[in-house]
Amino acid sequence: MFYAKEENKRKRWYRVLTIGQKKLLALGIVAGILVMIFLGTVVFYSCRAMQYDMQRMQQASGACMLYDATNRPIASLSGTEERPLLWQELPQNLVNAFVAREDARFFEHNGVVLSSVIRSVLRNLTSMRYEQGASTITMQLTRNIFELRDKSMDRKLLEVMLAQRIERNFDKQTIMLQYLSRIYYGQNCYGVRAAAEHYFGKQVSELSLVECATLAGLVRAPSIFNPVHSMENAMEVKAETLERMLECEMISEEECRLASAAPIELVRDREVDAAVSSYASMWARMELRELQEEAGKGNGGVYVVSSLRLPLQQYLERAVETALTAVEDNKTYPDAWLALSGKDTADAEERRKSFMKMKRPEKLRARGSANDLTGLLQSCVLVVDNRNRHKGRVLALVSGRSAVDGVDRWQTRLRPGRASAPLLFACACLPGGEDMHIVARDSQVTGLRLGYPVVRAFYDTLKLDCELPTQENEKALYNGEFNMKKIDLARILFSIQNKGRGYKLSLINAIWSNQRSLLYSYEPEKAPEYILRQSARAVMDLSPFSVSEGMPVTLNETLPGHTGQFSMVLRENGVAVFVWMGFDDPTTEVAASGRMTNLLRRASMNLAREVYEAARAELRREPELIKQQEEQAKAAAQAKS
């Protein structure tokens, strides 16, 4: 009994350390299922990866094209030459900086670091959401080329298979070149060539260690680590990149120390970019910088579809030059101005003779054949769609006599004078009792009744980009004798005439990636209330607006300080035209001349009315253009089939 008992104990202890046949069979089945799942997953995602065209690796990258509203190309916005980047152009420090920062084993792996992928998968499975990536440079390039943006396990597994396909078909140099040429560096820069030129005014081959580390650091978050917006953040991420290069034994301790302490020297006062072939492209580049978060999703370049009507734009450019020439030369008078009197030919002829007889300032210089624009009379014009569901879209614009000078005059300043009176009157009409409704015909009287604290508080809520007068000089505030951007004055007047809605006045209608994914779309119906609706409605019909039943609302004001003439013609649910005419330097003898003031008052309003009629005619053609586009699309579809 005793020995039998001991033997049974030994058997039970032995069974604990052994696997029975049933358990072994169960483990084998589980292992087999897991292997089948793994192989099935590999086959499934390999088949999906085979459906993607590897020729996209060879397609041009970094392009940024501007199109008009009917998808006709206008200009390249890239600002750099389009030839492919060569390996010989890359400084070793640039390659090392990106490898150290993004993928230390880039030249060793086959596109995927399996241990990192497994760690990422386990982390995401345990958290039941996508928390951690494991991207090599090849995998990042895969995302950019094939636009795999979803943060999901499905996207990650597909990305792994595509990365391996790329590694099998292309060498490491090609992969690195494509990666550097496609990623987004902020400030509307797609590709390292555009970034080197924009930030440092250099060719890629000329980049220093400091500049290479700066570019490698900012790509992870171009809006945060951008040296233009935050030098402190850029210096910090540059130092981190240099530390990584030191850890990878790519630079010495001395090089790391010196480069970490060295400043980031950005290029200043650059001449006008070669890509700025027109004021439209200049404006589009400015808007793209504001939309850099959306534009940055189109790694490898974007297509920018504008609201621009190319025929109207071409007409506007001719009309502006013709109008300015008429001011400078009393022997010319635009035919379009004759038509402004309608069928009353006698009135038209009288207006023509009257304008041509007006005396010109003796020192007023006309534009010559040498294209010297210094000191010339200038004008900027903005044509804005004011129809429902289209409000705020820019149909055409001009910011001077030539984009060659690189000046967007809509961003330069004027003194609004009485043109800003509607804003002051809107303040007087704020809800709060009848005692607040104290609008007088004179803006200064209205302002004094309201008091400086009330007016200043209201202006501050609008966040205008200008320095407002102090209380010691409060009359200057009420009389509009302060400097503000021309575009801000246009926005204010447009907002007041649209019941206080703060429309953006946007040229960019949509941004598409190279693979035709929609990245951004302007939505005018979402415009917020910029000025209280009740206040805006109360002043829409007040002076200095001129309102006649059945006619568009107009405004034509001579600005204080000889800063020019500002005119507006606007019809509700139609079109709005804003015109500024004057000189860049208001202190000159010609700008201060009374003769010049009278000429500008006539010419500015005539130009605004002429462009208004041309814009209305263009919008009436829109159904015809839509029909033509539909027919072209139908013909293209039939040709493919």
pLDDT tops 80 at residue 401: yes
pTM of this structure: 0.76
pLDDT band at 370 (very low <50, low <70, confident <90, very high): low
CA nearest to 467, candidates 456, 458, 475? 456
Do residues 303 and 67 touch, judged by C-beta distance below 8 A? yes
Token readout for 30 is 């589980």
Separation of first and last alpha carbons in the chain: 92
Can you say how many angstroms the Cα of residue 579 is from the centroid of all Cα atoms in its chain? Answer: 24
Question: CA-to-CA distance for 494 and 570, rounded, in angstroms?
Answer: 8
pLDDT of residue 334: 94
pLDDT of residue 482: 95
What is the chain's Cα-based Rg? 33
pLDDT band at 194 (very low <50, low <70, confident <90, very high): confident
pLDDT tops 90 at residue 135: no
pLDDT band at 77 (very low <50, low <70, confident <90, very high): confident
Question: CA-to-CA distance for 489 and 417, rounded, in angstroms?
Answer: 11
Question: CA-to-CA distance for 162 and 171, rounded, in angstroms?
Answer: 15
pLDDT tops 90 at residue 190: no
Q: What is the mean pLDDT of residues 607-631?
A: 86
Q: How far is residue 510 from each of residues 115, 307, 311, 521, measured CA to CA in Å?
A: 41, 9, 20, 4
pLDDT tops 90 at residue 328: yes
pLDDT per residue as tens digits for the range 6-17? 555 555 555 554
pLDDT per residue as tens digits for the range 535-585? 999 999 999 999 998 899 999 999 999 999 999 999 999 999 999 999 999
Domains and CATH numbers, the chain: 68-275 (1.10.3810.10)
Q: What is the 3-state secondary structure (H, E, C) of 75-132?
A: EECCCCCCCCCCHHHCCHHHHHHHHHHHCCCCCCCCCCCHHHHHHHHHHHHHHCCCCC
pLDDT of residue 417: 96
370 against 26, higher pLDDT: 26
597 against 27, higher pLDDT: 597
640 against 109, higher pLDDT: 109
Which ranges constitute the DSSP H helices of 386-429? Answer: 421-428
405 against 180, higher pLDDT: 180
pLDDT per residue as tens digits for the range 276-298? 458 998 899 889 888 877 776 66
Task: Tell me the average pLDDT of the chain.
Answer: 85
> Residues of the chain with pLDDT > 90: what percent?
52
pLDDT per residue as tens digits for the range 350-367? 999 999 999 999 999 988
pLDDT band at 472 (very low <50, low <70, confident <90, very high): very high
pLDDT of residue 275: 44
pLDDT of residue 131: 44
Q: What is the mean pLDDT of residues 20-27?
A: 76
pLDDT per residue as tens digits for the range 48-64? 878 887 877 766 555 67
pLDDT tops 50 at residue 475: yes
φ and ψ at residue 102, rounded to 5 degrees: -110, -30
Q: What is the mean pLDDT of residues 430-454?
A: 78
pLDDT of residue 492: 96
pLDDT tops 70 at residue 129: no
pLDDT of residue 413: 95
Q: 55-69, 142-156, 394-408: which has the highest mean pLDDT?
A: 394-408
pLDDT per residue as tens digits for the range 340-352? 988 888 999 999 9
pLDDT tops 50 at residue 394: yes
